[in-house]
Amino acid sequence: MSEGHDHGGNLDSGNVGRVRVVFWLTAGYAVVQAVGGWFSGSLALIADSGHMVSDAAALLLALIAYRVAARAADATRTYGFHRVRVLAALANGASLLLLVAWIALEAVGRIGRPLEVLAGPMLAVACVGLLVNVTGAWYLSRGDKRDTNLKGAFLHVVGDLLGSVGAILAAIGIMLTGWMILDPLLSVLVAALVVRSAWSLVSDSLRVLLQAVPQGLDARAAEADLTTLPGIAEAGHFHAWVLTDNSTVATVHVTAAPGADPLSLPELVVKRLHDLYDIDHVTVQVDPPGPGIVAHES
């Protein structure tokens, strides 16, 4: 028995709109940063504009993923295209890790040979960047937090925000002390702050793609709990995985107790798994009495 198996393109249009607005903010600021770096001769600003371009590309990838995920399921892809959003989140997380590695390598090189930085223009452009990134992060934070694609976009913007804070602190420090080494040192600090969130996004996406049991769900405990329901003698072959950010799927075999109506069991199981574990798509197979289910587990 199954319940509510609609795997079509249901999508939060609010999330799409948020990512679209932040994409244009990020792309626009990348242009401003590149122009400011060219006029001031600041390599730091030009390098960070490349960072912003990569983030704008990640946001564009997220928008494309939303569009693809909105397509309805078909005869070949019966679960629809929602996993595309998870793939985009994985790509965004991986690109963040690569970006962190690049920042760290670049910073190490600059610590040994600091480059000349014009602190005044750097400070002005960084303040504009902070305003843009605070606005973008706040706007994205109001979306559906279960959406890994939106989370990936949010983490990119937070990384930009931290970069702007680092650039502001570096510019002020350089203006007060003349120490050019502050720029790469603060870059390393920002990279360390970003890497944890990036790894969390990658690991969460991999859990979904590998069809791991949802966080907080113990498959053996769920099986044991089902045997406490009236009319169920045994439960086994329980599998559960995350289909999309806000949809979990499970399958399970049960055997009816003597005298119980087998046709009544699927409804009991579906309700129990939904109430306890928020699983919204459940397939229940009722096996005939005979050798125990557990004995046939592979």
Q: 116: burial class by Cβ within 10 Å (0-12, 13-18, 19+)?
A: exposed
Whether the per-residue pLDDT at 96 is higher than 70: the answer is yes
Whether the per-residue pLDDT at 86 is higher than 90: the answer is no
Whether the per-residue pLDDT at 82 is higher than 90: the answer is no
Positive or negative: CA dihedral 170, 106, 153, 19: positive
Q: Quick one: pLDDT band at residue 291, thresholds 50, 70, 90?
A: low
Pair of tokens at residue 200: 């969390």
| Confidence (pTM) | 0.63
Using one digit for the tens of pLDDT, what is the confidence trace for 201-252? 788 888 888 888 888 888 899 999 999 999 999 998 999 988 766 678 999 9
Using one digit for the tens of pLDDT, what is the confidence trace for 164-182? 787 788 788 888 888 887 7
Residues in CB range of 35: below 8 A, 6 or more apart: none
Whether the per-residue pLDDT at 296 is higher than 60: the answer is no
- Residue of 182 and 279 predicted with greater confidence: 279
Q: Is the domain defined by 219-296 classed in CATH 3.30.70.1350?
A: yes
Q: Quick one: pLDDT band at residue 51, thresholds 50, 70, 90?
A: low
Instruction: Please state which CATH number belongs to domain 13-209.
Output: 1.20.1510.10
Whether the per-residue pLDDT at 184 is higher than 50: the answer is yes
Per-residue pLDDT averaged across 139-157, rounded? 74
Alpha carbons within 13 A on the beta-carbon side of 246: 10
With pLDDT > 70 as the criterion, what percentage of the chain qualifies?
79
Residues in CB range of 13: below 8 A, 6 or more apart: none
Using one digit for the tens of pLDDT, what is the confidence trace for 67-80? 776 777 667 766 66
For residue 251, what pLDDT is reported?
93
Using one digit for the tens of pLDDT, what is the confidence trace for 9-42? 445 567 778 888 888 988 888 888 778 767 765 6
Amino acid at 19: V
Q: Quick one: pLDDT band at residue 191, thresholds 50, 70, 90?
A: confident
Per-residue pLDDT averaged across 74-93, rounded? 73
Whether the per-residue pLDDT at 295 is higher than 50: the answer is no
For residue 188, what pLDDT is reported?
75
Residues in CB range of 96: below 8 A, 6 or more apart: 155, 156, 159, 194, 195, 197, 198, 201
Domain ranges (residues) in the chain: 13-209, 219-296
For residue 2, what pLDDT is reported?
44
Q: Quick one: pLDDT band at residue 154, thresholds 50, 70, 90?
A: confident
**239: which strand partners?**
251
